Structure 1
Amino acid sequence: MRSLHWIRRYSYGVGHVMNDLCAAMWFSYLLVFYHGVLGISNFSAGLIMLIGQVADAMFTPFIGVAADSTKSEYGPRKTWHLLGTFCVLISFSFIFRECIDCENASAWAISLYYCCFVVVFQFGWASVQISHLSLIPQLTHDSLEQVSLNGLRYAFTIMSTIAVYISMWLLLEFDKSKDGELNAADSPIFMEMGYSVLAVGAIFVLIFHLGVKEKSPADAMRDEPAFKSKSSWRKWFKRLPFYQNALIYMSSRLMVNISQIYAPLYILHSLHLHKRNIAIFPLVVYVSGFITTLLMRKINERIGTRVTYLLGLVTFLGACVWFHFQKPRYECVDLPVDTTIPPTTHNISILEPCLATQKIEYHSSLAVESVFGAGVLLGMGGSTALVTSLSMTSHLIGKETDSGAFVYGAMSFMDKLSNGIAVQVIQTLHPCGHVVCCLACESYYRQILVYVPGSAACFAFLVLVWMVIRERADNAMASGAELQNDTEPIDIHFQRGNNYGTVTAPSPDKSINSVERRPLLDE
């Protein structure tokens, strides 16, 4: 099968860059900005994210169906991509800036203000995501080419995210306040980042629309006559692999997104590192993930998609174990208060409740900075699992591209809904309430980063085992039925006046199809 031209391939790869830039800000810094900078409560900050994720989850299946049924000479998926881009442009800049004229507004009014922009943003984001993903099965039916496109798409996702983290690192590093803690004075940094990602993203959207040509509905019908009769998207609800792939994709997204959301909070409040590390640590994660995606196609060719996915799960779980045993910058220890607390640029007020019976013990820089090794494992495992799960979905769709957007929409529905619920539950159970952080949140963020993504990885492993066992059982049944058909005698009765009589099938080593059926009586 002819491979795609490199211009078309790379133009497709950059078509999701604006979404990726916005997603890096959304997942890594939304809770940090709303709670740590604006002072919104843990519950309200989580609620804003929940509403956004639920809105995204509700939009995606409908967008998928609409994209499959849209008639447009420009291309139905590219039309939805353009509409989604417009919605992102008009809404995202308001999400990462202080509420306009809200000095005397109540907490609920401020939350409602942000929720309005979040809903519009999520509609646009979902439109771009589903339309972009559903182009893959239409551009090519070759499974390795689909893996390559998914890998390229994710490579640009990683490069976009890396760009966000490098920019944030530089802004925080050269912050004039020289304060190691986040506060309201850092609000302009987040606002500048919001404007920057939209400006850069718009350039790549233009490249995508100029470089990728989508078949019009008429061209698709002419080029693929075997699929001219449009099948219903409802057929997928009758197929078990559809649900298995949805669970695999949902688990992979939970692994990546929850770790991306809570890693900055873990860095700040569990390890007590400088605020610039909320950019450096994710940067390490995504650089390692980017390198991994470059090798993804060769790995899949050598060991297969499912073994590759299993390898990603094991690597990711290694990072979770590392987080559990990671030493913080300083901690309270059960010793008499017999030492002087050394000066530090970090805020130690959260440790004051333990100072009456304990003292602060400082760990070496090497012991603390070893957490970046866990970041490498996190990036390798997360990117492997995510790219491979997307490839499984492309393989599931195969040549049934007429309902491909619906499949991706359904997968995304599971992803967004599960992420939103998980974040809201975590924020509701937060032990510190309206306080940015207290003594209990140190261990809380550690437990979240270990057990929530780790549990998702274990669940994905169980679904993978279920998928393999079910397929082997189905293949065994199909082989048994075929063997039975090849060896079972055929008994055809005849009456005396007819020309045909009983014919018996040959021995098992001879196919039924090779039996010569002839008249028993001469005419």
Structure 2
Amino acid sequence: MEIGHFSGTRYSCMQKLSFGLGHVYNDLCAAVWFSYTLFYLQVVLQLESATAGTLIMLGQVADAVATPIIGWAIDKTGVLKVWHFAGTTTVGVGFSLIFSITPNTNSWWSLLWYGGLIILFQVGWATVQISHLAIIPCISQDHTHSADLTTIRYAASVCCGITVYLITWMVLKTNQNADKFGPNDFYKFREIALILSFIGILSSTLFYCGLHAIHYNSENISESNTLLHPQSNLLKTSIIYQVSLLYMASRLFTTLNLIYIPLFLEERQIILMPESDGIREAIAIVPLVSFLSSFGMSFILKFRPKQMNEKVIYVVGSIFSLIACTWIAIGMNSGLGHQIYGIATLIGLGSSSTMISSLCLTADVAKSRGFGGSVYSTVTFTDKLVSGGIVVITQHLSPKSIELSSNFYGQVLAYVCGSTALIGLITAITLYYQRQ
């Protein structure tokens, strides 16, 4: 295995910035995928809700199945940037075509073609994600350095979300003929996808130019592990299951909110505000508010006191998340109005706190075990499979149209997302007292 040596103290600001750019294309795609794909399939392409949910589930299963395989391959080869480049190429092809081709919804062949593009995109996305995460324990020398890299990575992710919602708002609001979404908006989503692909490919190019060749450092590999069976040794430790549960709960809370907030807003308009004309702006501005609060929290956490370790931060973030879900549960029968921005702010604060802290804990495990690919693939596997399962079940239970939903999506945000936040809170408290 080819070995590269990095010094954390010599790692320049430019190289840190280059590292942060390495996941930008993935984050841009993820913001669109989780916020608008189900909405796009169901409202713009007018697929049945069960069919749309099945396509989302297909992508999540492909992602979940590919994740451990990619993690094992990365650990065996150690050439992280090669895997990253392969994944970026696949993402570029799959993502661009998903929003550029209109399938004939009456043809199974068209749906199979569309499903194939989704699988291609998700496998590429998983490859970029695991290879980029595996860089953190490879180049960091201590917990502080890995926490810095994790914060930079998350801040870049939040900036990507803000970019997506600003572009979405600017593109969608140009349609002055109708406020209601429908098939005529297909070309708008294609325009959004192509703009984001250009930004993502440019960011990936800067990542390759600004960051040196990266390979696993033999000093980071624990002597107690073997290169032949990294995952089998890893799965014998309890900490990997606890960290996986923390990450799954955090990621699931964030993902479900991204997916169902647009549908929840559409539901609010149809049920309570049928004559209002603000849905086009709200569908972009509400998620934007959430990402802005996430961005602010990521900087606040950078300067937190040492007494606030990762477990405490996760607990605080879970409390923010639970308050947001409770607020939705109490106010879903009303119009909510401007209250939705307060809810979006709390969702952003909770998502940022739990995601950063769970990734920092995962980086500590990866560095101590020495197999970044296997650790990150194990931690992310459950999240991808469970989130896809919840989406497909939710879509099968949903009414045939939003007009008949009667607070269905509000209940998803209040109770399903609230349950995931509660699971994360309990796990974090258990881990906190266990490690004292």
**TM-score computed with the length of structure 1 as normaliser:** 0.77
Which of 283, 296, 303 lines up with 1:298 in the alignment? Answer: 303
CA distance in 2, matches of 1:225, 1:188: 49
What does residue range 287-436 of structure 1 map to in structure 2 within 5 Å? 287-299=292-304, 301-326=306-331, 368-401=337-370, 403-430=371-398, 432-433=399-400, 435=401
- Return the offset for 1:389: 0.5
8 Å Cα contact 2:80/2:215 also seen in 1 = no
What is aligned with 1:267? 265
- Return the offset for 1:129: 0.2
What does residue range 443-454 of structure 1 map to in structure 2 within 5 Å? 443-454=407-418
Q: Which amino acid aligns with 1:407?
A: V
- Return the offset for 1:464: 1.7
**TM-score computed with the length of structure 2 as normaliser:** 0.92
Q: Using a 3 Å threshold, how does the CA distance of structure 1 residues 471 and 216 change in structure 2: closer, same or farther?
A: closer
CA distance in 2, matches of 1:210, 1:8: 10
8 Å Cα contact 2:225/2:233 also seen in 1 = no
Which of 5, 14, 25 lines up with 1:7 in the alignment? Answer: 14
Q: 1:144-178: CA deviations, max 9, x gaps? A: 1111111110111010111110011111222132x
8 Å Cα contact 1:141/1:399 also seen in 2 = no
Q: 1:408-449: CA deviations, max 9, x gaps? A: 01111111001000100100101x22x3x223x131011001
Which of 243, 249, 252 lines up with 1:251 in the alignment? Answer: 249
What is aligned with 1:337? none
8 Å Cα contact 2:50/2:395 also seen in 1 = yes
Q: 1:351-380: CA deviations, max 9, x gaps? A: xxxxxxxxxxxx6xxx51221111111101
8 Å Cα contact 2:220/2:367 also seen in 1 = no
What is aligned with 1:196? 195
CA distance in 2, matches of 1:27, 1:292: 21
Q: Which amino acid aligns with 1:263?
A: I
- RMSD in angstroms over aligned alpha carbons? 1.9
Q: Which amino acid aligns with 2:94?
A: S
What is aligned with 2:3? none
What does residue range 84-233 of structure 1 map to in structure 2 within 5 Å? 84-99=87-102, 102=104, 106-177=106-177, 179-216=178-215, 220-221=217-218, 230-231=226-227, 232-233=229-230
Which of 403, 417, 421 lines up with 1:438 in the alignment? Answer: 403
CA distance in 2, matches of 1:405, 1:153: 17
- Return the offset for 1:277: 1.1
Relative to its length, the structure with more helix (as a share) is 2
Q: Which amino acid aligns with 2:23?
A: H
8 Å Cα contact 1:270/1:442 also seen in 2 = no
Identity %: 31
Q: Which amino acid aligns with 2:392?
A: Q
Q: Which amino acid aligns with 1:8?
A: Q
- Return the offset for 1:228: 11
What is aligned with 2:81? 78
CA distance in 1, matches of 2:221, 2:146: 22
CA distance in 1, matches of 2:159, 2:66: 27
Comparing 367-376 with 305-314, which one deviates more in the overlay?
Answer: 367-376
Q: Which amino acid aligns with 1:384?
A: S
8 Å Cα contact 1:245/1:392 also seen in 2 = yes
Which of 27, 34, 41 lines up with 2:34 in the alignment? Answer: 27
CA distance in 2, matches of 1:35, 1:453: 21
CA distance in 1, matches of 2:387, 2:287: 19
8 Å Cα contact 1:316/1:378 also seen in 2 = yes
8 Å Cα contact 2:60/2:385 also seen in 1 = yes
Structure 1: gaps spanning 5 or more residues: 332-362, 473-523
Q: 1:111-157: CA deviations, max 9, x gaps? A: 22211000010111000000000100011131011111111101110
Q: 1:243-288: CA deviations, max 9, x gaps? A: 1111111111111000110001111112445222111100000011
What is aligned with 1:355? none
Q: Which has the larger radius of gyration?
A: 1
8 Å Cα contact 1:244/1:467 also seen in 2 = yes
Q: Using a 3 Å threshold, how does the CA distance of structure 1 residues 201 and 299 change in structure 2: closer, same or farther?
A: same
8 Å Cα contact 1:253/1:415 also seen in 2 = yes
CA distance in 1, matches of 2:84, 2:349: 29
Q: Which amino acid aligns with 2:122?
A: Q
Q: Which amino acid aligns with 1:320?
A: C
- Return the offset for 1:95: 1.1
Q: Using a 3 Å threshold, how does the CA distance of structure 1 residues 324 and 10 change in structure 2: closer, same or farther?
A: same
Q: Using a 3 Å threshold, how does the CA distance of structure 1 residues 224 and 280 change in structure 2: closer, same or farther?
A: closer
CA distance in 1, matches of 2:295, 2:10: 23
SS of the residue aligned with 2:100? coil
User: Greater relative contact order (Cα 8 A, min sep 6): structure 1 or 2?
Assistant: 2
